[in-house]
Amino acid sequence: MIVERTDFVSVPVEDMERAKRFYSETLGIRSPNLDDAWPEFETGNVSLYLVSPAAIGAEFKPHNSHIALRVPDVAATREALEAKGVEFEGEILDTGVCHMAFFRDSEGNALMLHRRYAP
């Protein structure tokens, strides 16, 4: 088997319109097909693909493993998102190689702001 790349990560949503607003307006991520039933949000290397489990007969369960969103400055981005009403879980974590700030999307999926600063 040869894997060329990961095309997208599926993000389960319970309320598609609410999730579309969160990813497009709150996070400011671009989607070339925002009006489609299954929009993809482009993050540079892997798209986030919003899916409604109910539409395919499955149960909605939010992701609990964080999707790391690389940003230029974790503290500044966190501050901007807090001004938009996003609530973060704890303080910014400095691991010695990167900064991380944890939060959840409108559907309860685990996300993090991330920036590696060490080589």
Q: What is the structure's pLDDT at 10?
A: 95
φ, ψ dihedrals at 39, nearest 5° = -75, 150
Written as one letter, the residue type at 110 is A
Domain residue extents for the chain? 8-116
Q: What is the structure's pLDDT at 119?
A: 83
Q: What is the structure's pLDDT at 52?
A: 96
Q: What is the structure's pLDDT at 4?
A: 86
Q: What is the structure's pLDDT at 3?
A: 83
Q: Are 48 and 23 in contact (CB under 8 A)?
A: yes
Task: Name the fold adopted by 8-116.
Answer: 2,3-Dihydroxybiphenyl 1,2-Dioxygenase; domain 1 (3.10.180)
Q: What is the structure's pLDDT at 34?
A: 95
Per-run averaged pLDDT (10 residues), the chain, 119 residues: 89 97 97 94 94 94 96 98 98 97 98 94
Tokens encoding 21:
């607003």
